[in-house]
Chain A
């Protein structure tokens, strides 16, 4: 299979755009927290504040036609894969204009046209299907890659092991992206895994494993690019291990009684992926404020769009059960 050679790193103007995208996701999720606390949003919501570089770095490395499966912490992945903030916010408000037309909610965000096969509220639930989507690409000879996001908590569940085993056995073009934020809900990695380096789990299947700092978006992009090229080139699936940090709680409203507050604060001050990129690009306070104002306006606009959206009729609940 001929593989187009891609650039392995991002130029300065692209990095500016990456900064904007990460900031948009941050401000979007802060707004989601605010509107949930205000009582606007129903359901169960999880934000990924602190993990924006994983979503943006990986999704930017994808090609058109590649597909992803996401997790319960999906807002960032969904925006990074190209869904408009209006459609995402409308979904969180349960409106017909939402990316899942009000049938999904925060944990079931889909945008199939843009390659988002859905966020999953069952930890590890999407992984075997990414193996299957990649199998379809292989059987049809299409130069496409299927990629799954998941957290460290998912590496303990059967679907993870079965999906990786089958993907490696059948050499399908899949990429498995571990966003290792060291917490499975409220349970620290030391209490949920007997090994410290979760890449070992992929290596046990003979799978190529790449490890990267998930707070450095350039590194994430380069690593994802390498993994995608490998998979697309027919050389088999790749495990991408991103070490990242969840600044927020498991869910919005989580009091985080299980976590050392000083440590969390320090991580936020020193390891914020947005601040790290901003410093690298030497963005002035003035320019950053302008960028912030621009993305904040988009987020505010998404709330207006969502509030003005169309409520589904109650009986619409009976549609879409069968094709």
Chain B
């Protein structure tokens, strides 16, 4: 099995799709000569040329809208929105247009577009370059939402997103770009709506997304040392949600922690907790614990930033609370 970084895995999915299919193209700010602000598209201009690696003005409404328009003609554009924070500028086109064209037309059209974006704290950019806004988009019928946490997943999920006939908002995490992982020789598409059990355990299920998958795996190692067996599950696709895998895991362990980097309050984890209490209430031996960012914008000073967003320690403390140990 070859090893790729998360960054290379994204690039590989884009490049392979573009090699086999003229209808796939990418557009976004600084994606051509510069290779994207995160270096994801480095080298793609040389291979595919400026018609298919389209450097765009700083113009999120037009980037999103033009991608939607091309998708309405049957192309499969992948628009890069440089930072999740800038999704707010494209939200009208994504929420009012992409998500609703099929519905409003009574099923006459499909909108096979992907909006790739990235965010995440841990590098002190302050309040407008690292938000985690996935909860905004899982609330919109008509959109699919993906948040991949490993090289293998990001490659297989991006492939499926490109070939899905629905608009997909595809979240990547900035701090994961350099991580390495084994990937299959050939791309194996990962169906949207299927969770991944990263680690099996008996006592507690941690349901985590993005960076918090890795923090949760660290926490699970430490818990193991203290005699607590932890299962870690990554939904990978937030909409549609693989409720069955999450619920069956919790029915096995009888305890649950939901963890994400986004603000806890009204976050994606609230919905997961609601699903679990409704479908697995009689199996729960403890209140569902939640881990996420504190209710504040992201601060600049590193000590404050580290205080606001969750880490492995926070997940470990939550795990311990579910088993009645001091957290």
Contacts and interface: CB of A to CB of B under 8 A. Distances in A.
A135 B26 CA distance: 12
Interface of B: 25, 51-52, 54, 56-57, 59, 61-62, 64-75, 77, 92-93, 96-97, 101-110, 141-142, 144, 165-166
Nearest to B104: A108
B70 A110 contact: no
A146 B65 CA distance: 14
A128 B62 contact: yes
A101 interface: yes
Interface in A156-176: 158-159, 162-163, 165-166, 169-170
Interface string A80-119: 0000000000000000001011111000101111000110
The 5 closest A-B pairs by CB, nearest first: A128-B65, A132-B69, A101-B106, A129-B69, A132-B66
A136 B101 CA distance: 18
Contacts of B65: 127-129, 131-132, 159, 162-163
Contacts of A162: 57, 59, 61-62, 65
A110 B103 CA distance: 11
Interface of A: 67, 98, 100-104, 108, 110-113, 117-118, 120, 122, 125-137, 139-140, 146, 158-159, 162-163, 165-166, 169-170, 319-323
A110 B66 contact: no
A153 to B, nearest CB: 16
Contact of B56 (A127, A166, A320, A322): A166
A255 B71 CA distance: 41
B59 A130 contact: no
Contact of B61 (A128, A130, A139): A128
B70 A159 contact: no
Contacts of B104: 100, 103-104, 108, 110, 118
A166 B75 contact: no
Nearest to A142: B73
A113 B75 CA distance: 17
A322 B106 CA distance: 11
Nearest to A174: B69
A104 B71 CA distance: 20
A128 B56 contact: no
B110 A133 contact: no
A66 B119 CA distance: 39
Contacts of B57: 162, 165-166, 169
B96 to A, nearest CB: 5
18 contacts: A98-B106, A101-B105, A108-B105, A110-B109, A118-B104, A120-B97, A122-B97, A128-B65, A128-B66, A129-B97, A131-B65, A137-B73, A139-B51, A139-B52, A163-B62, A166-B66, A170-B54, A321-B102
